[in-house]
Structure 1
């Protein structure tokens, strides 16, 4: 409805669970690592909890995409069942054939046990995932505990993952469920996003909806969205969407703090009543009400995380401390560093290739700029060809889409350690990587679990550019910057630093007034400078 007004190709805060908007913060990555760690825990329970809308289903979706091929998964999303109904559902999800008269708990348990033993003999692992697990009764939880007694001499046969709201933690802490609590091999609680992560989340969704569109929120509006939403992604979506609709109704190019406050009144019932003039006339007939009611079911999404890059230093801002965090430490190796389990054929081809060191990745990347940098330190060699290296520590897809150029990233290998891969193409649902002579396409959800969010690329230095955040005092560099700003629609007038700030605000960059690597890359892109482009990006 308002997308084209803000230069977007689609509404960035839609309630549809669109994988193109996948965003995973550091918390979501760590939660995913806990689930993957639990697969190697030899049976028992894995517990993932979080507030409504915190992104539990996002993590679960990424987990299911990475479950190895030898795992058989049963997924239950409506667990308000009796013991008998639960066992019937579990058998149905696993596709277990039952005898004609199998109408007792024992008959279902016997059939499940036979299925698990047959799978174990074939090298398979059974995983039962229960969403909304806070709805389970104590009786059903006890039956689930008994199912984890199904075992061979070497290992338990069933891994159970419970995903639910915070009250699930309270349930398993009850004295009568102590035996179940002792079988939890990994647990994690998803807290809200920090202010920095909230800004990164919003920027990421906007960059997917319109990579070149100006940021339609002021800094004060972003801070207010975080405060009113509590950092919960679903509430951020609902509030940001309503704020943009409000700005559109007023004909404003961006939402300000007051607009966000007014939107909160409509969405959450807080703040002053909205003046009638603020409501867009075309929403008559109840369309506004339908939008708000529809948004209550906001997706449990998304993600690929990612702190936004600091525009002038060539580094990435670090994520702020988040509320929540991990529960007590897990036994054994730290789950956050446990290598993800790769199950797809595409990943298998990638892992069969020898690990690619960063120096090799830089050289392969330089070839996309038609530059051969040879041996020696790659970035020093690239500088001889007027190219500079740029590194972002954890910017994720937000930075990749913002820069729109190929680069190399680090992937965690299943045997441990890491390997570089060139990210050469990106579309709405997949990323294409090259490494060790292999080219593979991965879903964005799969990539999110393998990649910590780093990104390294090259950028072309303007004429006379010096090694300083604003190009130095070279007249050619200043002239290039002046012309680039004029070309971008930033009229001459105030100081050069203020004009750079105007450009940075329009591009959704930190407005510090210094033309660093990201600012120059955006100017280069708008000017049509010949640089390598990421396939699939506009």
Structure 2
């Protein structure tokens, strides 16, 4: 609705995990590097965690683009499955034919292991990516560990990427999963964006869509971080609504009060007010610390 008005060729703040719009902050670059490194190592698991909306899924899409050509990927987006359902889903993703009447853990495991051996002989790497992995049951994780037992003298024939919220870290601390936890060769926790990165993030997405950062006023950019806490998904939702409101008012630029109005529509007035007050509390604390330090300094000079 607002694209032509602001001279944009595409929606810059879509929440779809489009790798073209991935802003590679230092944290995102490090996360991608950890995943890439882990998949090259001999271990069977790599892990990426982060709060909701920090960009974990988008990083995984970028990872897919960087995998070697001779790689077969199985992607599981709904891990709330039993062990036998998970194995059946892996078979579906790897194109393995099976008979439902023979369904059992051993039957599916044998089929998958045979597929892994055939892929290895053909020079094909096999990668299993599981999103929202914090929902996996302990017995399902143990079944995954058993799948990674197949290995050559140099490497595992199946590499597993676990992507999930911080609860995944707690899940893997359980005593019965200690063997799996020891096989994680690379792990990274993705943090929200810093204030400077929020501005760069918005500028990047606008640039990809044919616009520039001047669409947002400097004061509105500061408000973006204060209200969103640097969570990319929330930034997208609020900036999209702010652009819509600015277009409706026929404003040439997104002003701070318009962005806050957009935030109140989506998050609620109480949430926005609370986050704004939190900002002022930190400012007052900083002023108090600075004044105290100056007081001591002046006292010592007298």
Normalised TM-score (structure 1): 0.48
Q: Distance in 2 between matches of 1:214 and 1:188?
A: 30
Give, in whole Å, the separation in 1 of the partners of 2:112 and 2:102. Answer: 12
Aligned to 2:115: 115
Structure 1 or 2, whichever has the larger Rg, is: 1
Q: Measured at CA, do residues 214 and 44 of structure 1 come closer, stay the same or move farther in structure 2, by a change above 3 Å? A: closer
- Alpha-carbon distance between aligned partners in 2 of 1:183 and 1:196, rounded to the nearest angstrom: 36
2-side partners of 1:160 and 1:18: how far apart?
22
Contact 1:264 1:271 in 2 (8 A): no
Instruction: Kindly indicate whether the alpha-carbon contact (under 8 Å) linking 1:2 and 1:244 is maintained by their aligned counterparts in 2.
Output: yes
2: CA distance, partners of 1:241 / 1:99? 48
Alignment of 1:359-370 (within 5 A): none
Structure 1 position 108, deviation (Å): 1.0
Q: C-alpha distance in 2, partners of 1:262/1:50?
A: 28
- Could you give the per-residue CA deviations for residues 201-235 of structure 1, whole angstroms, max 9, x where no partner exists? 11112223334x67121111101111111111110
Distance 1:38 1:102 in 2: 35
Contact 1:134 1:164 in 2 (8 A): yes
The offset of 1:18, in angstroms, is 4.6
Query: 1:172 maps to which residue?
Result: 172
CA distance in 1, matches of 2:234, 2:271: 19
Q: What do the CA deviations read for 1:284-315 (whole angstroms, capped 9, x no partner)? A: xxxxxxxxxxxxxxxxxxxxxxxxxxxxxxxx
- Normalising by structure 2, report the TM-score: 0.83
Q: 1:177: Cα distance to partner?
A: 1.4
Task: Quote the Cα distance in structure 2 between the aligned partners of 1:214 and 1:119.
Answer: 47
Distance 2:103 2:181 in 1: 30
> CA 1:23/1:197 → structure 2, altered by over 3 Å: closer, same or farther?
same
More strand by percentage: 1
CA apart distance, 1:123: 2.7
Moved more, 152-161 or 31-40: 152-161
> Is the 1:72–1:127 Cα contact (8 Å) retained in structure 2?
yes
Check the 8 A contact 1:129/1:161 in 2, yes or no.
yes
d(CA) in 2 for partners of 1:272 and 1:37?
A: 40
Give the structure 2 partner of residue 270 of structure 1: 269
Question: Residue deviations 1:351-373, cap 9 Å, x none?
Answer: xxxxxxxxxxxxxxxxxxxxxxx
Displacement of 1:158 in angstroms is 1.3
Matches within 5 A, 1:258-407: 258-271=257-270
Aligned match of 2:77? 77
**Do the aligned partners of residues 18 and 125 (structure 1) sit closer, same or farther apart at CA in structure 2, a change above 3 Å counting?**
closer
Structure 1 counterpart of 2:128? 128
CA contact (8 A) 2:43 2:184 kept: no
Secondary structure at 2:251's aligned position in 1?
A: coil
- State the partner residue of 1:215: 214
Partners of 1:165 and 1:197 lie apart in 2 by 22
Which blocks of at least 5 consecutive residues in structure 2 are unaligned?
Answer: 273-302
Distance 1:272 1:60 in 2: 31
- Between the two structures, name the one with larger relative contact order (CA 8 Å, sep ≥ 6): 2
* Preserved contact between residue 75 and residue 129 of structure 1 (Cα < 8 Å): yes
- Match of residue 249 from structure 2: 250
In the alignment, is the contact (CA less than 8 A) between 1:262 and 1:271 conserved in 2? Answer: no
Greater helix content = 2
Judging changes above 3 Å, is the alpha-carbon distance between structure 1 residues 43 and 102 closer, same or farther for their aligned structure 2 residues? farther
Q: Say which SS state the counterpart of residue 54 (structure 1) adopts.
A: coil
Structure-2 separation of matches of 1:38 and 1:52: 23
Indicate how the Cα distance of structure 1 residues 11 and 253 shifts in structure 2: closer, same or farther if over 3 A, else same.
same
Aligned to 1:21: 21
SS of the equivalent of 1:231 reads coil
Number of the residue aligned with 2:197: 197
Q: Does 1:41 align with 2:41?
A: yes
- Tell me if structure 2 keeps the 8 A contact 1:51–1:190: yes
Are the equivalent residues in 1 in contact too, given 2:51–2:190 (CA < 8 A)?
yes
- Asked if structure 1 preserves the Cα contact closer than 8 Å seen for 2:238 and 2:262, the reply is yes
**Aligned equivalents of 2:213, 2:149: Cα separation in 1:** 57
Deviation at 1:252, TM superposition (A): 2.5
Inter-CA distance 214–118: structure 2 relative to 1 (3 Å threshold): closer
Equivalent residues of 2:73, 2:94 under 8 A apart: yes
Distance in 2 separating the partners of 1:181 and 1:214? 43
Structure 2 match to 1:53: 53
Residue 132 of structure 1: how far off its partner (Å): 1.1
Matched residue SS, 1:221: helix
State the partner residue of 1:239: 238
Local SS of the residue matching 1:189? strand
The CA deviation at 1:13 is: 1.8
**Unaligned residue ranges in structure 1 (runs of 5+):** 274-538
Given that residues 35 and 46 in structure 2 are in contact (C-alpha distance below 8 angstroms), is that contact kept between their aligned partners in structure 1?
A: yes
Aligned length: 272
Preserved CA contact (<8 Å) 1:82 1:140: yes
Structure 1 residues 24 and 84 mapped into 2: Cα distance closer, same or farther (>3 Å)? Answer: same
